[in-house]
A and B are shown apart, each in its own frame.
Chain A
Amino acid sequence: MKIDNTKAQMRKGILEYCILGILDSSDAYASDIIDQLKEAKLIVVEGTLYPLLTRLKNAGLLEYRWEESSSGPPRKYYSLSDSGRAFQKELKMTWEELQSAVTILTTRPNQS
């Protein structure tokens, strides 16, 4: 079992939640989302994101609109749909549960 593979799996699992989280606060186009994710060191390359965005959009969680750009072709501005918002809320709950679970589990050995 490779550590890199496990790391990548962990990251990918929470990537969808993070994208929905970013869009929950404000609409954004792909580059914005990428920049934020990069800043947080959650992704390294942009390639990973495009299939994911399309898949979320096709699942009805995201919507987009076209907007002109000063430096290139028109951009897709993504926003959460109603079901996306509901989905995000549920994920948030799950994430918080998981977080506490992980914290409890990983800190307990120190106590004992």
Chain B
Amino acid sequence: MNKTININLAGIIFHLDEGAYESFRDYLNQVKNALESQEGGAEIIADIEARIAELFSMRMQEFKREAVTIEDVNFIQATLGAPQDFEDDSDEAPHTSAGIPAGKKRLFRNTDESIIGGVASGIAAYFGTDVVWIRIIFLVLLFFTGIGFITYLILWMAIPEAKTTAQKLQMRGEPVNLSNIERSVKEELDGVKERFGRFREENQGTGQSLRKTINRGLNIIINILEWLFRLVFKFFGLLFILVCLVIGFTLFVALFGVIASTWNFGGIDFISIDGNILGLNAAEAILGSGIELTLMRIGTLLTLLFPILGLTTLLAKAFKRPLANGRLVNIVGGTSFFIGLALLLYAGGNVLSSFKVSTTEMRTVELQGNTFDMRAELLEESDGFLFEIDDDNLRIENVKLDIKKSFDPSASLAMKHRARGSSNSDARKRAMQFDYPFEQVGPVMSLSEYFTVPEEALYRGQELQVTLYLPIGSEVYLDPSVENLLYGIENAHNMWDGEMIGHTWKMERRGLVCMDCEEIDYFESEAVEAQIEALELEIKKLKEN
């Protein structure tokens, strides 16, 4: 059974077998291409069509057939000759090529060799370069500016697809003449023929019509699946480029913040403003410059190697330049991934174990006078990050200031050093290494916002709790500079730390009372409660004495 297609030649209808039709159409198109540019071309074409109609009719009568077959088309070709025979080169000014002259290139999308829309290969054809370079340019633009993506989309929409053979030739800048078209078409046809032949071979010998039907059905399904896969592949191609963009950026960041980003203790800030990139300070403060740091660095790099290699392989595939050995990449990448992970876990475990024990160390200094002006301007201002490495010292900005009632007649400043370590003695040694300078000049108490420890002590949860003990009746002014230090100071008005600065406070029995606040959120019951509590404490103390 053959499908037929009806055509009208010089006013006569012919039924052509599907295969015959395709062959005939290609032939006639080539002939038309050869003749169109000649003087009186349309008339010649009409004459030729009439002649073909005559020959077809003769053969139909002769062989008593209704449909034109491929043999008839072949006969026509043999009788009329190859398309180039139609060129009338006895003309005074002979044509070297029909149609568009050589060298006039036009930009088309080359969908025959496309990954997404054939934009890159079209451009490559236009400039006569290898498509890989265009793709690399697009990817570079994509990674570093994102412009590549938008440019691609615009070009995709703007550039027409090279559909016809003539357009494909123009895309490469080859002259659109008969022999080139023929060559190009022939190449295309050969591909079709080959596929068709294979299909027929596969279907030969099955014999039974049922199996043939099944085969045909399967073939249709396979065709549909193939088409779907192509669609999905293109979609993923686009998605892949987007993912590359994200992964590329992440890797870029990760490589710089490699170590610190894997160890985020208690909300450490990783991005420093003044040149210290992404928490390298934190890494040094926690890991020191010893074996752990090295292990961690190697570990992170080894762990990252796998995704980087994988990405490279995928990119290579995208460019249709597969790397030599995909399995080797997998083995090397996978092994390095696990070694890296093991190193990270080992070093991480070591570091964690040195945080095991916590101890505190107290230091108390008696202060003169009973009026104080608390400031935090003794040392240069810190930048608000937890760690800073300064010469051979590690600055730790973890100071808390509290104000409490003193039961002694004089005021005092108590400093509680807290530190962690792998053992009790390790932690104690660390707790004794705090260096926290302060100064009293008249009523002015100058504190600083951070303390320092020797660099080799490393960060092991060090924390400084400073408490100002005030006897009843003494006064304290809280300068705005201490704002960062205040931490949950109890007062008679239940005011927040931030609200307390800039005011003078008097220590009374019921706690700290604001001397110059304009509007005080005064809660009677709480104030009374505080008073009772204070009285009880006093009684207790009297009893002990």
Contacts and interface: CB of A to CB of B under 8 A. Distances in A.
Answer yes or no: are A and B bound together in one complex: yes
A83 interface: no
A48 B144 CA distance: 61
A52 B85 CA distance: 11
B81 A73 contact: no
Which bracket fits the contact residues of B?
Answer: 20 to 34
A30 B54 CA distance: 11
B66 interface: no
Contact of B80 (A47, A58, A73): A47
A64 B51 CA distance: 16
A52 B39 contact: no
A12 interface: yes
Nearest to A52: B88
Contacts of B91: 55
A48 B31 CA distance: 11
A22 interface: no
Given A51-B86, A54-B47, A55-B88, A73 B40 contact: no
A100 interface: no
A30 B90 contact: no
| Most chain B Cβ neighbours within 10 Å, of A15, A48, A71, A73 | A73
A71 B86 contact: no
A71 B57 contact: yes
A51 B82 contact: no
B47 A76 contact: yes
A31 interface: yes
A47 B86 contact: yes
B61 interface: yes
A50 B85 CA distance: 10
The DSSP consensus for interface residues of chain A is helix
A72 B54 contact: yes
Contact of B81 (A45, A53, A71, A75): A45
A74 B54 CA distance: 9
A44 B11 CA distance: 28
A44 B81 contact: yes
Give chain B's interface secondary structure class.
helix
B54 A54 contact: no
Residue with the greatest number of chain A CB neighbours at <10 A, chosen from B10, B12, B48, B85: B85
B90 to A, nearest CB: 5
Which residue among A13, A30, A45 has the maximum number of chain B CB atoms within 10 Å of its CB?
A45
Given A58-B39, A73-B11, A50 B54 contact: no
B50 A46 contact: no
B399 to A, nearest CB: 100
Contact of B58 (A58, A71, A76): A71
Interface in B5-60: 9-12, 31, 35, 38-40, 43-44, 47-48, 50-51, 53-54, 56-58
A69 interface: yes
A31 B88 CA distance: 19
Nearest to A38: B79
Nearest to B85: A47
B50 A51 contact: no
Contacts of B79: 45-46
Interface string B243-275: 000000000000000000000000000000000
Contacts of A15: 90
Contacts of B89: 12
A48 B39 contact: no
B82 A54 contact: no
Given A12-B90, A71-B54, A71-B57, A45 B80 contact: yes
Interface in B70-118: 78-83, 85-91
B47 A73 contact: no
A108 to B, nearest CB: 30
A46 B91 CA distance: 18
Interface of B: 9-12, 31, 35, 38-40, 43-44, 47-48, 50-51, 53-54, 56-58, 61, 78-83, 85-91
**What are the nearest 4 A-B pairs in CB distance?**
A45-B81, A47-B81, A72-B54, A51-B88
Interface of A: 12-13, 15-16, 30-31, 44-48, 50-55, 58, 69, 71-76
28 contacts: A12-B90, A31-B51, A44-B81, A45-B80, A45-B81, A46-B51, A46-B79, A46-B80, A47-B48, A47-B86, A50-B48, A50-B51, A50-B86, A51-B35, A51-B38, A51-B44, A51-B87, A51-B88, A55-B40, A69-B54, A71-B58, A72-B10, A72-B12, A72-B50, A72-B53, A72-B56, A73-B12, A76-B47
Given A52-B88, A55-B88, A71-B57, 20 more contacts: A16-B90, A46-B51, A46-B81, A47-B82, A47-B86, A48-B81, A48-B85, A50-B47, A50-B48, A51-B40, A51-B44, A51-B88, A53-B47, A58-B39, A72-B12, A72-B56, A72-B58, A73-B12, A74-B50, A75-B50
